[in-house]
Every structure is written in structure tokens, then in C-alpha cells.
């Protein structure tokens, strides 16, 4: 698996820096369909990427205590963190 994963979710580009992730799982509570853990306990995108709302995406990314998740709008401007 790559060190950085990116997906388009609800018109936002979401990036997980898997090298920064320490596996707290705080991102999963607001958006359980968006994220899950791999075998090493590091966040990755789950199968339900399309099931997450814009608000859930932003809340999940804000919840990351180590800023391993970043969110960008359609113009490429970083919204979170």
C-alpha cells in the first residue's frame, strides 16, 4: 500500500498520509463508511467512500490528532487541517 492515499469524496479531495497516522481511529467515528484500518492499524479508505457527506468528511479530518488527513476543495485550497 502507498504511503499517501487520495480519493475524491463529495466534491472534496481527501488525502491520508499513512506515515503520519498512528491509528487512534478518531476519524472513524464521524465517518465510519469512509475510513477503516489496515492489518497494521493504519487508516485507509474503506469501501463506502461514496456514502460519506461533505460534513462527515470535514469532521472526520478535523478529528485526526496528528493531522494525517488533509482535505482540499475543488480549487486545490486546503480546508483541513
E strand intervals along the chain? 4-9, 12-17, 35-37, 43-45, 69-72, 78-80
* pLDDT at position 52: 82
1-58 confidence digits (pLDDT tens): 789 999 998 889 999 999 999 999 999 999 988 999 999 999 999 986 777 889 999 9
* pLDDT at position 1: 76
Q: 24 Cβ partners below 8 Å, 6+ apart?
A: 64, 65, 66
Q: What is the pTM of this model?
A: 0.91
What fold characterizes domain 4-75? Alpha-Beta Plaits (3.30.70)
* pLDDT at position 81: 93
* pLDDT at position 25: 95
Amino acid at each position: 500500500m502507498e504511503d499517501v492515499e487520495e480519493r475524491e469524496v463529495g466534491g472534496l479531495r481527501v488525502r491520508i498520509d499513512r506515515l503520519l497516522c498512528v491509528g487512534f481511529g478518531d476519524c472513524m467515528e464521524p465517518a465510519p463508511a469512509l475510513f477503516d484500518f489496515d492489518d497494521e492499524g493504519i487508516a485507509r479508505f474503506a469501501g463506502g467512500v461514496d456514502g460519506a457527506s461533505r460534513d462527515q468528511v470535514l469532521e472526520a479530518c478535523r478529528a485526526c490528532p496528528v493531522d494525517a488527513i488533509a482535505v482540499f476543495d475543488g480549487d486545490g485550497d486546503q480546508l483541513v487541517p
